[in-house]
Structures are given as structure tokens and as C-alpha cells.
């Protein structure tokens, strides 16, 4: 079942991949290892998960502005997410996505908790849309 879900484009480009959904914010500074793309934040629900090549959906970022540069380092090391979906973009994640050329959208029509990890999606940061190939939770 294909769904076209509309939102707001933050960082341009189009990429696809399997969804990795977090219902809690993510800190890229000290929360994600830029050398491996693995979430290392102790106690985070996605601790141990690799974000490389996945479409990462989470409510918003948290932590230091250095998180933007961690996203850039992930990109340079080949471990960045394919795309980012936020409930509400904030400057740290938006800046990191833009400088890293990671497509990003926010304010999608449905709550992030309705998205299912593993579902294949295509994110279009230019139009603010995503194609969701699966059932909602």
C-alpha cells in the first residue's frame, strides 16, 4: 500500500531506504558514533542500531549545536542516514542535514508514532513529501 504523506521540505534532495523510527529525540553529539553510524546513547530505545543508509524518523533533535557537525562527519564517513523526518525541525538537525546534503522533511500529516520501522520510504526534501510503502501502525 503506497501512501503519499505531505510535510515541509527542510533540506533538498531525494533518497529512499528503510525507516528507522524513534519516538524520543536523538542527540548526535555523544549519542551517535560518527565512525560507525551506531546510536550509542545509553538508555536510548535505538541504542545499538545503525542509522547508515536508513531514513531516520524522530520527533526532534536535542543537545549541543556540535550535533550539526556530527551529522556532517557521518556524511563524510559514509554513515549518514539516507534522509531525516522530524515532527518539528530545530536548528541543530536542520543545519546538519543541509550542510551534509541529507534530504529532510518535517511537519508530516501523520504523527511519527504511526510510522513503522523497516517500511521502505522515499523522501523528497524539495517537495516536502514522502512515499510510504506499507501499513501504518
What's 70's domain CATH number?
A: 3.50.30.10
Contact 34, 81 (CB under 8 A): no
Q: Confidence band (pLDDT; 50, 70, 90) for 26?
A: very high
Angle at 15 between CA 83 and CA 115, to 5 degrees: 55
Share of the chain above pLDDT 70, in %: 100
CA distance 127 to 43: 35
Query: Which pLDDT score is estimated for 16?
Result: 98
Query: Which pLDDT score is estimated for 1?
Result: 80
1-19 tens-digit pLDDT: 899 999 999 999 999 999 9
Domain of residue 11 covers: 2-133
The verdict on whether 68 is a catalytic residue reads no
Mean pLDDT score of the chain: 97
> Choosing from 30, 36, 64, 117, which is the catalytic residue?
64
> In this model, does residue 130 exceed pLDDT 90?
yes
What total number of domains does the chain contain?
1
C-alpha cell at 91: 536548528
> In this model, does residue 123 exceed pLDDT 90?
yes
Q: Confidence band (pLDDT; 50, 70, 90) for 37?
A: very high
71-104 tens-digit pLDDT: 999 999 999 999 999 999 999 999 999 999 999 9
3-state secondary structure 37-97: CEECCCCCCCCCCECCCCEEEECCECCCCCHHHHHHHHHHCCCCCCEEEECCCCHHHHHHH
Report if pTM > 0.75: yes
Amino acid at each position: 500500500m503506497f501512501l503519499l504523506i505531505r510535510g515541509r521540505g527542510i533540506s533538498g534532495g531525494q533518497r529512499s531506504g528503510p525507516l528507522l523510527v524513534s519516538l524520543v529525540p536523538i542527540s548526535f553529539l555523544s549519542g551517535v558514533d560518527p565512525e560507525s553510524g551506531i546510536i550509542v546513547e545509553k538508555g536510548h530505545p535505538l541504542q545499538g542500531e545503525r542509522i547508515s543508509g536508513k531514513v531516520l524518523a524522530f520527533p526532534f533533535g536535542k543537545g549541543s549545536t556540535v550535533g550539526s557537525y556530527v551529522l556532517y562527519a557521518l556524511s563524510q564517513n559514509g554513515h549518514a542516514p539516507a534522509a531525516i523526518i522530524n515532527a518539528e525541525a530545530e536548528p541543530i538537525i536542520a543545519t546538519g542535514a543541509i550542510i551534509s546534503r541529507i534530504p529532510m522533511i518535517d511537519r508530516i500529516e501523520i504523527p511519527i508514532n504511526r510510522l513503522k520501522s523497516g517500511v521502505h520510504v522515499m523522501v523528497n526534501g524539495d517537495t516536502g513529501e514522502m512515499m510510504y510503502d506499507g501499513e501504518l501502525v
